[in-house]
Structure 1
Amino acid sequence: MIERKTSLEKVLAILNLFSEDKLTWTADEVVAATGYSRPALYRYVKIMKDAGLLVADSRFGFTLGPRIVELDYLLRRSDPLMVHGVPEIDSLAQCCPGNALLVRWYGSKILCVYSAHSGQGINTSYHRGRPMPLARGAIGRSILAYLPKARLAKLVKSRVDEFAAVGFGASEDEIISNFSRIRNDGFAVAYGEVTPGVVGIAAPVLDAKRSPVASVCVTVLGSQLEAGQIEEISAKVRQSAHNMHMRY
């Protein structure tokens, strides 16, 4: 039996075509990617243009529209994670060297939604809204460690090579064991996996059902860390994450 998509699903499928690798789409490209007829495509595009979700240009094709920016502004003011998380991240940046980040987990992606830095801030290529690596670094691990066992096992099985490439375990069992250790500790630490020479220390933000929704992270140059400082920073990161959990 062929499963038919609703009009809403077809509109969302067009939005989901846009990525960092491909920021503009022509009508021919959208038709080829979605299989929609051209009359149907233009019907959906008109709806999206009228809503401000798309901009159409005869020279460049379709790009995302200004309504996206407006929604982002509203999200910053309404999302409980942002409302309660921004002061926590600002506070972390004042007491820890390097960068403090709030990273949202949704679907199978993680992306930075807010960041602040001390006077010793580190240049990063993962700014607000850009998806971050899931299998590399402390942020992804702090979240994945709190997934239900069956879901974590399925994800690990599909990414064994990625975890192995950064030394997080050579087998599914070893990787799962390392995640159990992170869950017991309440935080994750990674050394130079996302940015060379930078240490990441992250703890998960949990919702009322104790499911991970985000991560709090501090990144600091390894050369600036002193003995015992990882333990000191991890305690502050865990406290900030806990404070958000209590308000989420």
Structure 2
Amino acid sequence: MSGDGTVGKALDVLDQVASFDRPVRFGQLLETSCYPKATLYRFVQTLTNQGMLMYDADRQTYALGMRLVRLAHKAWTHSSLAPIARHHLDLLSASLGETVHLAQMDSSQVLYVDKRNAAQPVEMYSQAGRVGPAYCTGVGKAMLAHLTESALARAIEQQSFHRFTDSTLTSETALREELDAIRARGYAFDREEHEPGIICIAMPILTNAGRVLGALSVTGPTMRRTLAEMENWVPQLRAASENIAREAAAWRFPDMDQQKAG
């Protein structure tokens, strides 16, 4: 339950509707809601009146509304690296032939903001718009490794350390050791830590002052790739990361540290 008053509770309801991944009846919402029936109904009606939810009278179901779609598009344009990185993801995908991800941090988790499928795609968790764990994904660890100590401590507190596979890091100590290694080499690996049979190499996207903007990764199945092979792609990943950071700084992500210094 949100501690941010009425707005926070309304956002909780939006998250709940979204979690079904399909239109949902009020009774289904009520079954999983932390709010009393009258409170939930009031929020649902207000959100519907505001266009944040839409109601299908024939099916008696609620779904996310078109106003949210418009807001999401604006957020994608204003706050996401995706518009800047699109060309660089296309080049990496065409050159390497494996799945390319672009991610940013979202409340200490990984938000996949764009993706290019491999020439021979395989089923995997990541999709643009989906949120994943930071402690056991290549992009997540690449970003965690370059947070300030205070931000990293907050992020680690919010990691579940659930064991997805035999390779998953399940403690703060193990994660911090891994992050030290990532900082030393400059890039991260996913050694089947989130999904069996799926590995990746990931590169942080950093400003000149070292502030984390996001991360890039190239991902593939162990049946056709090894981490040693993927490590050969470091120069291409690093070049793409630096180009994205440079364009981001010039466009929508000016480095505040540099601004203050100037």
Normalising by structure 2, we get a TM-score of 0.75
d(CA) in 1 for partners of 2:155 and 2:117? 32
The CA deviation string for residues 105-157 of structure 1, in whole angstroms up to 9 with x for no partner, is 21122122211134233333322212223332312211111222244345446
Which is worse superposed, 80-89 or 164-173? 164-173
The CA deviation string for residues 85-115 of structure 1, in whole angstroms up to 9 with x for no partner, is 1111111101113111112221122122211
d(CA) in 2 for partners of 1:113 and 1:74? 13
One-letter identity of the residue aligned with 1:189? F
Deviation at 1:65, TM superposition (A): 1.6
Task: Report if the CA contact (8 A) 1:97-1:220 is conserved.
Answer: no
d(CA) in 2 for partners of 1:67 and 1:223? 43
Deviation at 1:74, TM superposition (A): 3.7
- Where do 1:1-248 residues align within 5 Å? 5-21=4-20, 23=22, 24=24, 26=26, 29-30=29-30, 33-35=33-35, 38=38, 41-57=40-56, 59-79=59-79, 81-153=81-153, 155-156=155-156, 159=159, 161-162=161-162, 166-167=166-167, 172-207=172-207, 210-225=210-225, 229-248=229-248
Which is worse superposed, 89-98 or 219-228? 219-228
d(CA) in 1 for partners of 2:30 and 2:3? 18
Q: Secondary structure at the match of 1:200?
A: strand
One-letter identity of the residue aligned with 1:7? T
d(CA) in 1 for partners of 2:78 and 2:154? 33
The sequence identity of aligned pairs, in percent, is: 21
Task: Report if the CA contact (8 A) 2:110-2:140 is conserved.
Answer: yes
Q: Secondary structure at the match of 2:233?
A: helix
d(CA) in 2 for partners of 1:111 and 1:178? 21
Q: Is there any run of 5+ residues in structure 2 with no aligned partner, and where?
A: 249-262
> Whose RCO is larger (CA < 8 A, sep 6+)?
1
One-letter identity of the residue aligned with 1:45? V
d(CA) in 2 for partners of 1:29 and 1:123? 30
Q: Secondary structure at the match of 1:243?
A: helix
Which is worse superposed, 156-165 or 99-108? 156-165
Deviation at 1:66, TM superposition (A): 2.3
Q: Secondary structure at the match of 2:219?
A: strand
Deviation at 1:196, TM superposition (A): 3.0
Distance verdict in 2 for CA 1:30–1:108, change over 3 Å: farther
Deviation at 1:222, TM superposition (A): 3.1
Deviation at 1:80, TM superposition (A): 5.3
Q: Secondary structure at the match of 2:97?
A: coil
Distance verdict in 2 for CA 1:188–1:70, change over 3 Å: same
Normalising by structure 1, we get a TM-score of 0.79
Q: Secondary structure at the match of 1:55?
A: strand
Distance verdict in 2 for CA 1:175–1:119, change over 3 Å: closer
One-letter identity of the residue aligned with 2:184? N
d(CA) in 1 for partners of 2:229 and 2:3? 55
d(CA) in 1 for partners of 2:56 and 2:77? 31
Deviation at 1:160, TM superposition (A): 7.8
Task: Report if the CA contact (8 A) 1:168-1:178 is conserved.
Answer: no
Which is worse superposed, 128-137 or 156-165? 156-165
d(CA) in 2 for partners of 1:31 and 1:228? 49
Deviation at 1:164, TM superposition (A): 9.8
Deviation at 1:8, TM superposition (A): 2.6
Q: Is there any run of 5+ residues in structure 1 with no aligned partner, and where?
A: none
Task: Report if the CA contact (8 A) 2:136-2:169 is conserved.
Answer: no
d(CA) in 2 for partners of 1:41 and 1:244? 43
Q: Secondary structure at the match of 2:215?
A: strand
Q: Secondary structure at the match of 1:136?
A: coil
